[in-house]
Structure formats: structure tokens, C-alpha cells
Amino acid sequence: MTINDLKEQNLILLECISGSKAYGLDTPQSDTDIKGVFYLPKDKFFGFDYIPQISNETNDEVYYEVGRFFELLSVNNPNILELLNTPEKCILHKDPLLDNLDPNMFLSKLCKNTFGRFAMSQIKKAKGLKKKIVNPVDKERKGVIKFCQVNYENGSIPLEKYLELKGWNQEYCGLTNIPSMKNMYGLYYNENLNYKGVFQKTEANEVSLSSIPKGEKQEALVYFNKDGYSTYCKEYREYWDWVEKRNNDRYENTKSHGKNYDAKNMMHTFRLLDMAIEIGKEGRVNVNRPNREFLLEIKSGNFEYDELLQLANDKQNEMEIVFESSLLPETPNLNVIEGLLIEIRERLYA
């Protein structure tokens, strides 16, 4: 099923503008995000074709099946609590079946962890981007030979340097395992014995091993830093996947403010921490943010990264204190929530 199917078959129970426009943090460049709730036709719900979630290709339109919606509410998922508490001006459609849902009945002290963990994940994303910007990875991928060292005189030198000093080509090298010495290899050289070289393909994950005839002279010991190479391959793949998929507008904004962190992620960190503190104190979710100017200053990169980390740490400590004395229950009442879901389903499929 697609979003168009939901609309054509009148299966949508709730449809709201979400994201920056619901938070009151939108700017002229902001996209319009949509979230909603739907129910399945009876045959799909009772059959094998249960679908918990439907979204478009860019994930800026996401709809949750009503059972999945209630399930996520029961664990105090921040996105779903925000959806249920969408400001009136951002609600595009709401079925009367949902009119009796009291948003506050779903709130509990679980919000300290769900909102807090989500906030910290935004800091992690901001840190990850900072690392990628400050430490770019060359497009040309390094091969295993770059991670090989050879014993030389009283120390070691890179294998490539050793081969250069000898005037040797890597394809005429032969490597063989050294028993009981992990990642250590004996190095042999002969242009007439069909050795396999240090590597056969530039994208190889291991050095090549050769069959060494008896009596051949071992020229040196080679150490292959396999763990270092594996780490490099992982970072290379992550970096260039990020380059391919990154939001170029956000990336250019990050470069323009010169602070080398994703300011939008940091803005959401403070939005989430503030919302958690309000939930603990007031027992309600305030989607539209009262401190728009401060949050947009963060988004514009007007703060130093370390300064924001300290502020976020202070907010997290405040959140911990607030929830210690909060009157919210430890967890939502699952029996009541399940009863509401059953009642809605019975009316939908009556």
C-alpha cells in the first residue's frame, strides 16, 4: 500500500504537519513534513498483509497503523507523543474516533529516557559530522600494502618504502605465514617463481599468500596491521556513504557557520531536553517551542561546540532532578491503553 492508497480509500485517521513547522522553528527554507495515523482494510488487518507503517521515499511523510501508533505511545516514543499533541493549526485531518484520546494519559517517567536518549543521539550525530568534516577521507581507497611494515635495521619501515629501497615490485613478492606470530609473514622475492605478490586486487581485505619453494631465502618479516586496516575500511565506507547521502543544504550551512558540527542536530538536542523537563514538571507535551530565538541561534551556529555540550549537560542534570520529584507514573497504564485501542478497532471493523 502507498500513501495515495490510504487517501483514496479514506483510511487516514489523523494527518498533521510535523517537524519544524509544528515546533514553530520553520524558516523560509524549511520543508513541510507530514505524519499521520491510518487503519488497514479488514482483510489486510486480519490476514497476512499487516503493514505497521507507510512512508514516501524521502521519509518526510510517514503514517503509522493505529495499532503501531498506540504501541509507540505506550513506550513514550517522542515522535509519536509529538504527533498526538500536534497544535490545532497543524492538524489537517482528525477522525472523531480519536477525539476521546487524552494526550496526558500516555505520559510517564519513561519520557526521561526516551526524550533524553533521543537528545543524546542528536549530540552523537553532531559529533559524527564534526569528525567527518575535520577528518575527510581521501577518495582513493588505500590497499593492504599501506598497512604493512617491515623490520629494517634497528626498527621498522613501511613495506612500500622497503620495496623502493630494494628496487623491487610488489607483484614479485611472496608472503608466507609465520607460525604462532599473528599477522606476521615471511617476505620472499623472486621474479621467476610466480609469487602472488603482497596483494592481487586493490580492494583485497587480506594480503596474498604464496607457495614458497624449499631453500628460498627469507628477506624480511612483514607485519600486517589488520585491525588498523579494518578500521580504515569501515571509516572509508561510512564517510563516502555519508557524502553520497548527505543533505547538501545542511552540509553547506555547517560549513558556512564554520563551527564544524551539525547545528540542526544540536538545536534538536535542546528542544528535546526542554520538552522532557516540561513533561516532568507540567505533565504535558508542548510541541510549539516558546524559545524559538534561542533554538534558531543554535541552528545558525552562533555557539561554540564545547559551550553547547556544557549547556546540554546542565539541561540533562536538570531533567534528572525534575523526574526524581515528578508526579508522573513510572509507566503508562497499558490496560487502559489497550482498552482504547480495542474500542477503536471494534468501531472501525464493526
The predicted structure's pLDDT at residue 249: 54
Enumerate long-range contacts of 161-167, CB under 8 Å, 24 or more apart.
Answer: 162/220
Question: What is the dihedral angle through the alpha carbons of 133, 139, 143, 149, rounded to the nearest 10 degrees?
Answer: -50
Closest listed residue to residue 80, CA positions, set 98, 62, 97, 95: 62
The predicted structure's pLDDT at residue 116: 86
163 in Cβ contact with 156 (< 8 Å): no
> DSSP letter string over 67-112?
HHHHHHHHTT-HHHHHHHT--GGGEEEE-GGGTT--GGGG--THHH
The predicted structure's pLDDT at residue 164: 96
> DSSP letter string over 14-56?
EEEEETHHHHT---TT---EEEEEE---HHHHHSS---SEEE-
- Grid cell, residue 28, equals 523560509
> DSSP letter string over 276-295?
HHHHHHHSS---S-TTHHHH
The predicted structure's pLDDT at residue 202: 81
288 in Cβ contact with 247 (< 8 Å): no
328 in Cβ contact with 283 (< 8 Å): yes
In terms of DSSP bridges, do strands 12-18 and 33-38 run parallel, antiparallel, or are they unpaired? antiparallel
The predicted structure's pLDDT at residue 49: 87
C-alpha–C-alpha distance, residues 187 and 284, integer Å:
69
The predicted structure's pLDDT at residue 265: 83
The predicted structure's pLDDT at residue 304: 86
Does the CA dihedral 85-90-94-96 come out positive or negative? Answer: positive
Sort 243 into a burial class: Cβ within 10 Å, 0-12 / 13-18 / 19+: middle
Sheet holding 173-177, edge to edge: 155-158, 148-152, 220-224, 184-189, 173-177
C-alpha–C-alpha distance, residues 185 and 223, integer Å:
6
Q: Please give the backbone phi and psi of residue 85, each rounded to the nearest 5 degrees, phi first.
A: -105, 25
Residues across the chain: 350
341 in Cβ contact with 65 (< 8 Å): no
Closest listed residue to residue 319, CA positions, set 285, 263, 286, 270: 270
The predicted structure's pLDDT at residue 100: 84
The predicted structure's pLDDT at residue 306: 85
What's the DSSP call for residue 209? -
C-alpha–C-alpha distance, residues 172 and 45, integer Å:
65
Residue with grid cell 504537519, as numbered in its chain = 17
Q: What does each of the 350 residues of the chain score in pLDDT, given as a tens digit?
A: 999 999 999 999 999 999 999 999 999 888 999 999 999 999 999 888 899 999 998 889 999 999 999 999 999 999 999 999 999 999 999 999 999 899 999 999 999 999 988 887 777 666 555 555 556 778 889 999 999 999 999 899 999 999 999 999 999 999 999 998 999 999 999 999 999 999 988 888 899 999 999 999 999 999 999 999 999 999 888 878 877 766 555 555 544 555 557 788 889 999 999 999 999 999 999 999 999 999 999 988 888 888 988 999 899 999 999 999 999 999 999 999 999 999 999 999 98
C-alpha–C-alpha distance, residues 305 and 140, integer Å:
31
State the amino acid at position 62 in one-letter form. V
Closest listed residue to residue 51, CA positions, set 33, 35, 34, 69: 69
The predicted structure's pLDDT at residue 137: 78
